[in-house]
Structures are given as C-alpha cells and as structure tokens.
Amino acid sequence: MPTEILMPALSPTMEEGTLAKWHVKEGDKVSSGDIMAEIETDKATMEFEAVDEGVMGKILIAEGTEGVKVNDVIAILLEDGESADDIGDVSSGSSAAEAPSSPEPAPSAAPAAEKPAAAPAAPKKDGERIFATPLARRIAADKGLDLTQISGSGPHGRIVKADVENATATPKAAAPAAKADAPAPAASAGAAMAAGPSTDAVLKTYADRPFEEVKLDGMRKTIAARLTEAKQSVPHFYLRRDIQLDALMKFRAQLNKQLEPRGVKLSVNDFIIKACALALQQVPDANAVWAGDRTLKFEKSDVAVAVAIEGGLFTPVLKDAEMKSLSALSAEMKDLATRARDRKLAPHEYAGGSFAISNLGMFGIDNFDAIINPPHAAILAVGAGVKKPIVGADGELTVGTVMSTTLSVDHRVIDGALGANLLNAIKDNLENPMTMLA
C-alpha cells in the first residue's frame, strides 16, 4: 500500500513551511534515515529524514513551494513490488485531515467504512495537533485506531510504528465535534483585537507614493503573530533599575587578562546571563512560566538570549546556566549566536526557558521595554553602559558607568513585589560580580 509522506512539524510552533529542496527524485530508492528534503521553518532550514523504506513514487509538492501546511501530503512512497499505478488519485496539499470537516452526520457508520483513510489524518486532541509518522498513520488506518487515544514514544511525543502496533482499537469520541463551536466567540474576539487597516486600505493610502512591497517570510510572520498575541494577551508591567558597572568592568578586565592565554574573552553580556541565572535561584518563585490554568516552577535556570539575525531574531536557550562558569557560558553563547545567524539551530536549542534577556546596549540604546515571549514570565531589557554623575558611598559626587535595565513581567505569574525582588537580585549580582563565582 503506498505511503503518504506528510509535511513534518520540525518545531513545536511550526504550522507551515517552505519545501526548499528535494534530495531525492521520483524512482529513487529510499532507506530509513536518508535525507529526503530540506524544509525551511519559521526559524531555520532543516533536513527531513525518511522514516520508512521504499521507492519514491511521486513528488506532489515541488521544491521552492512556500506555505506548505504541516501534515499536507508532499510525496508518495511505494513499497517493494508496487508501481505508480498503485498510487491512485492522490493530489498535493491537504491530506485526509480535512475529511472530518464534511457536513455529513458523524453517527452514520457507512461513511466511516467508505473512508478508512481518515484515520491517518492530522487529528486533533483538545485543539492540539497529533504528530505521527506516515507508517504509524497507515497502520492505524488498517487497524481502525484513533490516533488521539495513543501516546507517542518518538521524538517530541511523535507516534511511531511500535505505538500503534501495541495499541488496541477504541471508539472515536464524537464530543470534540460538538465542542468545536464553543471557542468561536473567543477566537473572533482575538481576531477583532488584532485587526488593523486592511492591505487594500494601506495600499490605497500610499497609492500616490513610490514604495517597494516586501514579502513576509515565515520568520517575520511568526514574529508578527506571536508578539501581537503576547502584547494583547499577556498583562505586562515594567520595573526599572539603574545598575552601576564600575566594579564589574574592573573585575572583567582582570579576568580577561588572566584568561587571555586560553583565548577566552568575557563580555558584559556573559556576566548578565550569569547574574540572571543566579537571581532565578535566589528568587525561585519567579523562575516560572504561565501554562494556561497553572504555572510551572523550575529548579534549574534556563535563560534565553535574543540574537538578532537578518530579517528577525532567535532566542537560543542556555540551560542550567546557574551551574556553568562564565567562560563556559561565554563559549556556549558564542556558538549559539553564530549558528543562529547561519540559521543552523535545532528546535530544542531555542525552545523552552523561563526568562529571557534582550540587550541593545551594543547599539547605543540607553533603555527600552521588551515584549515577553510566552510562556516566559519575564524578560530583561538591557541598555548601554553610560558615564553618568553618581553619588558615591561617601556621599561625594563622582562619575560612574551606569546601565539602565527594564524588567518586563507577566502579572499572571509574578506580582510586583516578587518582580522587584528578582530585579534587585540581578542588580546585586552585577554590582558585586565576585559573589557570582562563589
């Protein structure tokens, strides 16, 4: 039986992608683990490996095609002994996932018998897509299994062959169909909140002015959607502190001189990462994320750092940052930043974290307010270190290097006093840098 190859979800947030390049052509033999294609997600270009063996029977989506939805059929794989005649009427685009949207009544047993292919589609469970390999979908269809009732043991919870082979058939619940209408008011409210001038209205406004239309790529679309949602749905509040950097700058210069033979050069940003990671340990209630109807509190400090790239940004995550030395954080951050700019990060390297840092100080920005990246509970916006008059410990007026910081906080997770404690802990760590080595 020919196997449908579906557009994979290569990251937790991926909904569509660009099929950048095929590495196989029709008639080629394919083995499990072979690189079949390169797919551009909203964040990176990634290789797509085969999970089944066979012969490439038909390519349905040409390379270079944009906006291919996750779980759309992109190709057909034939088993040994099968030919192109066995493919039948299969068209590119949406797979059988769209079949359940038919207006025909669900209780009727006849349509279900006529369309057994509906089982391998991209089913939903409480609004979430279920991911499964093409082979697992096919076996599920043959056995009459409901994939929404099966827990996946593959990467990121993907349902694989072994999962469906060990499962027994269970009746499909009809409740979700009846429930589908309930979220409609909330969805329409969200859409209304995000609405702005239409494309036609904007084009008409500037019809008499010369301009160039710039097409949005996947990354820019994702940034627009996620940050619009964040700004509208996350109750932000902001806390600001000036941090004196003179002690840190002196300590950093001493360390860099000692580390020079090892080729290590610490940046101010490395100290900021370490200070935030330790502060999350010192104020553990702030080391949390919003999870819909609950919060998740973490034992470790996983700190995301915004990295600007052409056309957008990444937020790679430094896991267990509180446990790592400054030199280790520096080396890891340099590696992540380099691969981010080359769009070579794997999804697990920019997913997760409870806290983020956005540093525009190197661009000369004095201060700014950053937008929280859900489900994070806070993000620290860091400005440039600037020479300013300050009152010294002895009461005398002197000149010092001062860095402005703003902590954007999700009020659902962190209240004002807790946020103040977190920012104060960050300030104390940076103004007393030697304590970060204790």
The answer to whether 49 and 349 are in contact (CB under 8 A) is no
* Token digits of residue 197: 């001038």
Catalytic annotation present for 411: yes
Angstrom distance (rounded) from CA 197 to CA 220: 18
Q: Which residues are catalytic?
A: 411
